[in-house]
Structure 1
Amino acid sequence: MHSLGRIIGIGLVAAAAITTAGCGSDADSTSAPSSSATGGTSTSTGRECIAEDVKVSGGFGEAPEITIPDSCDPPKSLIVKDLVTGSGPGAVAGQPLTMNYELVTWSDKQVLDSSFERGKPFGLTLGAGQVIQGWDDGLTGVQQGSRRLLIVPPNLGYGEGGNGVAPNETLVFVTDAVQVGR
């Protein structure tokens, strides 16, 4: 298992320059249906998944169980959905965050990394380029105590691959905002 510093940290392939309109809001983001799958060797279903297609069990502070469906294709846009709503002001660029997370790769539906398993949350400064673009965009507005689902397409993750992530891999994170700000 890899640590988050290696998985989502610095080393943002060329994808860091690509941005997706509307990313970073608390609302779900989806795009038009696609006829091709992203990552892995799965066959296209002709329909992109939405947040509700990915099943997550467990509450804030507990290691989640993430189930990725076979009935739809990985989304091509960042999907952000609060599973548990926290309180307080939403995170903004430049703020420190302390996050717990679990990462499952779309193509093989396996846990690639988990701070829950290590028992140690991950610290970052939001918007400072310390993590993949999907985290910088997707954690904007997160409130302390929130559990947030992030489905990160390859262009906001590792693109052509790296740090243990396969080329064109879609990443599914469940994140818990342990602390927002100092």
Structure 2
Amino acid sequence: MRRRSLLLSVPAGLVTLAACGNDKADSGKASDSASPSASASAPSAAPSPKIVSGPLPAITAGAKFGEKPTVAKGSGEPSKDLAVKTVVAGGGRPVAEGDYVQANYLGQVWATAKVFDNSYDRKTPLLIKLSQGTIIDGWRYGLAGKKVGSRVEMAVPPTWGYGKQGNPQAGIKGTDTLVFVVDVVDTFNAKSSAKGKDVPQSDAALPKVGTNTDGQAPSVDVPKKPAPKKLVAEYVIEGDGEEVAADNTVLVQYKGVLWDSGKEFDSTYGRHELTSFSLQQVVKGWAQGLTGKKVGSRVLIVIPPSLGYGENPPPNSGIKKDSTLVFSVDILAKM
């Protein structure tokens, strides 16, 4: 099954090829319609739903967390409220509004049991921000407070799904109640950091990056030496996750400083906001520097002008022409 549209707009920060200053995130993938993501229309103004425990169709196969489920057709009329049930209770951190959620899911239509999307066949969890206008309200309200490791089943009426317009490309009518089974793999917020083993930083010609993992910005100390002419991408903390591929979307914390002055010009820590983007959207130094690095890692990237902004830095960024850029990047997740 072809993967459907996930996110709505370009990410914040200066590392992207788009104009800086946008606070949304982007999957960077081609879209053909939406599954749990919000439609391209204006953010929902629907009131908060009443959450009830059912009715919900039976999960007839694949009942364990992480297994692709098979879900029966809905019986009778669905609730006009948002029905939510924790099928498997996890023991991890609870999900909160504004978090990025990494989840596997299957979605189908109540009345027909027609599956319109699932991530299990893609073997890649969804990575999306739990916020208004980014994801359908059924997910926002249904997943809030659920813990990592949980399996959640939801029946989402149109009011908290795709509304009266439905989603024709996905075969969803404006009257369809949608059934989702969601496995909450992980959740991330502005305090999230790299996790792994510290790697010695023994090259005196390169910047030294702090190894704190408390969610605070690490120090980045640039030596008073000539900037390297070639790209540098070295582990500061080496995680044990999967390697990032050139076409992946990544969720990161980062801090950027100028080699010449050590002055910070951009930081997710300063915005208190994680950033997610495709490596196909960013300056070449980021794309090349993060490809092959492991999820969970903190990476030092030193980007020469030819792989950064060269003679065309973003306006009002504080970056001069032909600047060498230094970044500390925590790779929190990939998709």
Q: TM-score, normalised by structure 1?
A: 0.77
**Which residue, 159, 164, 175 being the options, matches 1:168?**
175
Change (3 A) 1:140 1:113: same
Aligned residues of 1:103 and 1:111 also touching (Cα < 8 A): yes
Aligned residues of 1:87 and 1:143 also touching (Cα < 8 A): yes
The equivalent of 1:107 in structure 2 is: 111
Change (3 A) 1:21 1:109: closer
Change (3 A) 1:14 1:95: closer
Instruction: Give the deviation of 1:127 after TM superposition.
Output: 2.2
Aligned residues of 1:154 and 1:170 also touching (Cα < 8 A): yes
Higher Cα Rg, which structure: 2
The equivalent of 2:184 in structure 1 is: 177
SS in 2 for 1:20: coil
Instruction: Give the deviation of 1:126 after TM superposition.
Output: 1.5
In structure 2, how many angstroms separate the alpha carbons of the residues matched to 1:150 and 1:137? 10
The equivalent of 1:50 in structure 2 is: 55
Aligned residues: 156
Instruction: Give the deviation of 1:74 after TM superposition.
Output: 1.4
The equivalent of 2:71 in structure 1 is: 66
In structure 1, how many angstroms separate the alpha carbons of the residues matched to 2:72 and 2:50? 26
The equivalent of 1:35 in structure 2 is: none
Instruction: Give the deviation of 1:68 after TM superposition.
Output: 2.2
Instruction: Give the deviation of 1:9 after TM superposition.
Output: 1.5
In structure 1, how many angstroms separate the alpha carbons of the residues matched to 2:177 and 2:91? 29
In structure 2, how many angstroms separate the alpha carbons of the residues matched to 1:107 and 1:67? 10
SS in 2 for 1:116: coil
In structure 1, how many angstroms separate the alpha carbons of the residues matched to 2:136 and 2:2? 15
Which structure has more relative contact order (CA 8 Å, sep 6+)? It is 1
CA-atom RMSD, angstroms? 2.0
SS in 2 for 1:17: coil
**Which residue, 137, 151, 154 being the options, matches 1:147?**
151
Higher helix share: 1
In structure 1, how many angstroms separate the alpha carbons of the residues matched to 2:49 and 2:38? 22
Instruction: Give the deviation of 1:88 after TM superposition.
Output: 2.6
In structure 2, how many angstroms separate the alpha carbons of the residues matched to 1:7 and 1:89? 25
Instruction: Give the deviation of 1:168 after TM superposition.
Output: 1.2
Aligned residues of 2:89 and 2:150 also touching (Cα < 8 A): yes
Identity between Structure 1 and Structure 2 (%): 31
Instruction: Give the deviation of 1:138 after TM superposition.
Output: 0.8
In the TM superposition, what whole-angstrom CA distance separates every residue of 1:92-117 from its partner, at most 9, and x where no partner exists? Answer: 11211101000011122111100001
Instruction: Give the deviation of 1:174 after TM superposition.
Output: 0.2
Q: TM-score, normalised by structure 2?
A: 0.43
In structure 1, how many angstroms separate the alpha carbons of the residues matched to 2:40 and 2:179? 17
Which structure 1 residue ranges, 5 or more long, are not aligned? 24-28, 31-48
